[in-house]
Every structure is written in C-alpha cells, then in structure tokens.
Amino acid sequence: MPNYSTSAEIDATPEEVWAVLSDVEHMPDWTPSMRSVEIIDGPNPPDVGTQVRIEQPELPLAVWLMDEWDPPRHFAWITEAPGVTTQAEHLVEPLPDGRSKVTLAITQTGSLAWLVGGLVGKRTREYVDAELAGLEARVTQKG
C-alpha cells in the first residue's frame, strides 16, 4: 500500500500527458519539487534500468533506478538509502471521454521507513501534490 497517493483527471489524452510526464529531464520545467533531473546511465528516453540523478529542494541528492517502464501508461523508479527503499509511481489511465486520470504514488519500505516518513513525510506529500499540479498545468497549458 502506498505511503501516499494522489490522483487527478486531466483534460488531455493519455498520449499528451505521457509526452510531458515521460520527458523526465524536463520535469524541473514544470514542477517546483525538482531542481534537476539528469539521466546518468541508460537510454534516453528512459527504459527499465535507466539511472536518473534527481536533486530536490531540502532533500539529499538521490540516484533513482527506473524499475518499470510501460509507455504510455506507467513508469516507476526506485531509490535506496540506508534502511529505506522509496518507489515513486506514475500512472496514466484513459478515461472514456478521451481525458486522462493520473495517479502519483510514493511507497517507502525498510527498517527505517517509519523514521524517514516521520522526518520528510509532509514534504514528500507536498512534492507529490506539486508534481501533479504542475503536470496538469503544463499539459493543459495553464502554466
């Protein structure tokens, strides 16, 4: 079960959403939750096994490994630190009217997940919310 999950219906096709969401190195252009995203090993566009360095405000620099890649529907990446593994999922689902439902989720596991969740859980939720709002604004050209 995710530690945190949020969804929104977006007035754009899944392909339009995926085009923005999957261009991971440009995420900092549309979400304040990321300062930089850089593919450091593996293909671009990403695929399973791609390593991505992500810098976020007030969080340690982290290398994430793309562990799921299913265009244009889903990707997930994972990072590990002592005592905690964090997975971030990005899911795009088609709606009957041609729009999309986007779900973002964070799951933390490991012996220190409870501690990390207590220390940065609020910030993590804020960042996931900001990512979803920024994605919607970029895709629908509101921002």
Residues 6 or more apart whose CB falls under 8 angstroms from that of 134 comprise 30, 31, 32, 33, 143
Note the pLDDT of residue 8. Answer: 98
pLDDT at 117 over 90: no
Q: Which amino acid is at 64?
A: W
Largest Cα separation within the chain, whole Å, is 45
Note the pLDDT of residue 31. Answer: 97
Backbone φ and ψ for 81, nearest 5 degrees, come out as -135, 165
Q: Which CATH number does the domain housing residue 18 bear?
A: 3.30.530.20
- Grade residue 140 by pLDDT with cuts at 50, 70 and 90: very high
Contact 139, 10 (CB under 8 A): yes
Q: What is the mean pLDDT of the chain?
A: 95
Note the pLDDT of residue 2. Answer: 52
pLDDT at 80 over 60: yes
pTM of the model: 0.94
pLDDT at 1 over 50: no
Q: How many structural domains comprise the chain?
A: 1
Domain that holds residue 135: 4-139
Task: Summarize pLDDT for 50-76 with one digit per residue, the tens.
Answer: 999 999 999 999 999 999 999 999 999
% of the chain with per-residue pLDDT over 90: 89
Q: Read off the pLDDT of each residue in 105-110 and give the average, rounded to a whole number.
A: 96
Q: Read off the pLDDT of each residue in 76-105 and give the average, rounded to a whole number.
A: 97
Q: Read off the pLDDT of each residue in 129-134 and give the average, rounded to a whole number.
A: 98
**CA separation for the pair 122, 46 (Å, rounded):** 29
**CA separation for the pair 30, 21 (Å, rounded):** 10
